[in-house]
A and B are shown apart, each in its own frame.
Chain A
Amino acid sequence: MPKDKLKIGIYELTGCAGDALLIVDCEEELVNIFTAASIEAFLMAKSDNRHGELDVALVEGSVSTEKEKEELLDIRKRARVVVAIGGCACVGGPQAAFLDKKEWEKNLKKVYGNIEFSHSRPLQSKPIDAYIKVDCYLPGCPIGKAQFLSTFARMVNGNPPELFRFPVCVECKWHENDCLLNKDILCLGPLTLAGCGSVCPNFNVPCFGCWGPTEEANRTSEYYLLREKGFDTEVIKNRMANYSGTRITEFFEQFRKEKR
Chain B
Amino acid sequence: MRILKLQKKDLFPLLKVISREAELWAPTAKGDKFAYGRVLDFSRIAMDAVRTIIPPKKIMVPSLFNMFNFTEKGYQEDLSHVTDRILFGIHPCDIHGLLILDKLFSQAYLDPYYLEPRKKTLILGLSCLPDAYCFCKSTHTDIIEEGYDLFFTDLESYFLVWIGSSRGDDLIRLAPDFFDDKLTEKDIQTYTKWQEKRDNAFKTTVNFTRMPDLMELNYKAPFWEEVGAACLACGSCSMVCPTCNCYNVVDKLFLGNKPGKRLRHWDSCTLPEYSEVAGGENFREHKSQRLKLWYTHKLQAYVSKYGKPSCVGCGRCLVTCPVQIHVKSVADALEGHPVEAFWKKFAQEVSK
Contacts and interface: CB of A to CB of B under 8 A. Distances in A.
A191 B322 CA distance: 13
Nearest to B240: A173
Contacts of B345: 228
Interface string B34-55: 0100000000000000001110
Contact of B272 (A29, A162, A215): A215
A173 B320 CA distance: 10
Contacts of B58: 176
Contact of A174 (B232, B253, B265, B320): B265
- Classify the secondary structure of A's interface with B: helix
Contact of A29 (B30, B63, B256, B346): B256
Contacts, number: 121
A25 interface: no
Contacts of B156: none
Interface in B207-263: 229-236, 239-240, 250-256
Contacts of A191: 232
Given A36-B255, A176-B35, A181 B64 contact: no
Interface residues of B, number: 44
Interface string A194-230: 0000000000100000000011101011101100100
Given A174-B64, A224-B349, A169 B323 contact: no
Contacts of B53: 173, 176-178
Contacts of B271: 165-166, 170
B273 A166 contact: yes
Contacts of A157: 253
B231 A218 contact: yes
Interface stretch (A60-68, A86-94, A97-105, A148-156): A148-156
A167 B235 CA distance: 8
Contacts of A152: 255
A204 B31 CA distance: 10
Nearest to A172: B236
Contacts of B302: none
Contacts of A224: 346, 349-350
Nearest to B286: A216
Given A182-B320, A216-B272, A228-B345, A167 B234 contact: yes
A43 to B, nearest CB: 22
Given A178-B33, A224-B349, A149 B255 contact: yes
B64 A189 contact: no
A163 B345 CA distance: 35
Contacts of B232: 167, 169, 190-191, 218, 221-222
A3 to B, nearest CB: 14
Closest 10 CB pairs of A and B: A173-B239, A174-B63, A169-B234, A32-B255, A190-B232, A153-B253, A32-B256, A190-B234, A181-B322, A170-B235
14 contacts: A153-B253, A162-B252, A165-B272, A166-B272, A169-B232, A169-B235, A169-B236, A170-B268, A176-B30, A189-B234, A190-B232, A215-B272, A218-B230, A218-B231
Given A173-B235, A178-B53, 17 more contacts: A32-B256, A165-B271, A165-B273, A166-B268, A167-B234, A170-B235, A173-B54, A173-B239, A176-B53, A178-B30, A178-B32, A179-B322, A190-B232, A190-B322, A216-B287, A221-B229, A221-B231
